[in-house]
Amino acid sequence: MDRQLVEKITKEVLNSYQARKGSVKNILAIFMGGDRAIEESLAAMRSIAKGFKVKAFITRAAQSVIGLERIKQSTGITDIILDDGKQNPQQLSGECDLLVIPTLTLNGLSKIANLITDTAHTNIVVGCLERGIPIVVARDAVFCSCYPLPAANSGLYRRVEGYVNDLKNMGIVVTSAQNLAQEVFNIAGQMTKKVETTIGSAGKVFATPIAKFGPIIDKCPAFKDGVDCSSCGLCVDKKTGSVQAVLAAGADRIGNFSASDSAKKFAPLIDHTLLKANATQEEIGKLCEEAKKFGFASVCVNPAYVSLCSQLLRGSGVKVCTVIGFPLGAATPTVKALEDRDAIANGADEIDMVINIGALKSGNYQLVLDDIKAVREATRGKILKVILETAYLSREEKIKACELAKQAGADFVKTSTGFGPSGATVEDVRLMREVVGPAMGVKASGGIRSTEDAQKMVAAGATRIGASASVAIVTGQSAGKGKY
């Protein structure tokens, strides 16, 4: 088919889609019976209800745990549907332009992830998925407050993280209660500037809204004045009342294993990597076969091989990870975002971007934030890891880079490209974990060549390992020296 004709049709469809997004009016909110971060969830729904017509579907559990009157008084929502088993889920899912779940529970999470429709509310969710209606969920309430939050190396933590990733892979936006309203406004089009269109080299079409900075960053006096972030109180992890929400959001990330686990159990943490310039198709094919055999989290390849890996790994459960702005990080935010869109159009599931290292070292933090933010918006619904290239940075610069990545909404911070002067160190991983806390993942990469190396990184706080010596790591061997 003529490429110009394809682009013309695509733009017309996306213009229509953008118009529909900008005209979002009817939002359906499903309240499940979670009991964590309720105040933040109700406050978010109050903000949303001021800009849209919101109908609330209140499950029986929510009626018991949160209470009908509390929901009505705290949110200002008057159009209420009580779950009595008589509703028509198909009708409800067809009447809304956007679905919001402010209090997602563990039961709800597992049922949605497995497409189980034995309740009215999960039936509504699946109906929205079938119709392509955007869905935003806050997952703070997944773990009941009557129990302590599970450790990052527990089986429960990893299982929940798997469910959360299942939701993301279905296109559901998973966020915190603190950021719920912002995500809804972004998706609804109130903050959307335009829709960028890319036809990937694999022939697929991909579009994404480019949002302005969220209200927290735009209005943050601490960030603008360059003072300590804790003086502001707007950011979720600095706000005393939201600490539990941040901790709960930690289950939104890749799980952890203790250093005492056997070598093979590192496989789900590993991005099996081949990024050398002279990598051949045969080598990429072998990489994918090894990833399937050992059950690695992903293969990490250059963008040119994303489409091939996507085909070779289809149905295997192994993700396709690629690199953006690699390895120097010196491209502009616009170019990185375009590169990102093309990679996702070709089948990328996860994105590892290199920050603008020179801008960071020059103290131009706004440019660094713009850089990450541009790729974050282009990567909506996918995992984003931000490569700091720690070998070039001072301790203070590493801390600042982690703070900016967290502020921009990245999912992980990552140590190195493997092409710099040196790779991951235990000290850097430990520092990065201290800065980002439990709400983000930390990827250690560069020079990890044995099970012992991987154990040290995980013990320091790494939740993902980037390595070309992956097979040696999971078989208890050593691959000798190497940069990646």
Query: Could you tell me if 341 and 209 are in contact, meaning their C-beta atoms sit under 8 angstroms apart?
Result: no
Q: pLDDT (tens digit, 9 = 90+) per residue, 248-291?
A: 333 333 344 443 346 778 899 999 999 999 999 999 999 999 99
The answer to whether residues 430 and 292 belong to one domain is yes
> Which CATH number characterizes residue 71's domain?
3.40.50.1950
Residue where a domain stops, chosen among 153, 188, 223? 188
With a pLDDT cut of 70, the percent of the chain lying above it is 79
Question: How many domains are contained in the chain?
Answer: 2
Q: What's this model's pTM, rounded to 2 decimal places? A: 0.53
Among 166, 188, 210, residue at a domain's last position: 188
Among 188, 211, 236, which residue terminates a domain? 188
The pLDDT of residue 221 is: 43
Q: What is the pLDDT of residues 135-174, one digit of tens each?
A: 999 998 898 877 788 887 788 888 888 888 888 888 898 9
Task: Kindly state whether residues 441 and 342 are assigned to the same domain.
Answer: yes
| Residues taking part in catalysis | 352, 414, 443
Please state which of the ranges 137-141, 182-186, 353-357, 441-445 shows the lowest mean pLDDT. 182-186
Kindly state whether residues 320 and 406 are assigned to the same domain: yes
CB 175 within 8 A of CB 137: yes
Note whether 319 and 448 are same-domain residues: yes
For residue 47, how far is the Cα from the chain centroid?
23
Same domain, 321 and 182: no
On the question of pLDDT at 93 being above 60, the answer is yes
What torsion do the CA atoms of 447, 451, 453, 458 make, to the nearest 10 degrees? Answer: 120
CA distances from 73 to 92, 103, 258 (A): 23, 17, 45
Identify the CA nearest to 192 among candidates 14, 11, 21, 371: 21
Q: Which pair of structure tokens corresponds to residue 152?
A: 């990052």
**Are 165 and 294 contained in the same domain?**
no
| pLDDT (0 to 100) of residue 223 | 40
473-481: average pLDDT: 78
Q: Are residues 182 and 282 in the same domain?
A: no
Give the C-alpha separation, 322 to 427, whole Å: 26
Specify the pLDDT at position 461: 94
- Of residues 213 and 355, the one with the higher pLDDT is 355
Name the band, by pLDDT with cuts 50, 70 and 90, for residue 176: confident
Domain region containing 60: 25-188
Q: Are residues 340 and 437 in the same domain?
A: yes
One domain, residues 421 and 300: yes
Residue 243 has pLDDT above 70, yes or no: no
421, part of any domain = yes
Q: Which of 399, 325, 334 is nearest to 360 (CA)?
A: 399
**Are both 316 and 459 inside the same structural domain?**
yes
CATH code of the domain in which 409 resides: 3.20.20.70
Report pLDDT for 23: 59
Q: Is residue 226 part of a domain?
A: no
- 286 against 244, higher pLDDT: 286
Residues 162 and 273 in one domain: no
Query: Out of 67-81, 141-155, 277-291, 408-422, which region has the weakest mean confidence (pLDDT)?
Result: 141-155
CB 113 within 8 A of CB 165: no
* Cα–Cα distance, 217 to 195 (Å, whole number): 22
Q: What is the helix (H) or strand (E) element at residue 54, kind and residue range? A: strand 53-58
Q: How far is CA 2 from CA 6, 193, 335, in A?
A: 6, 29, 26
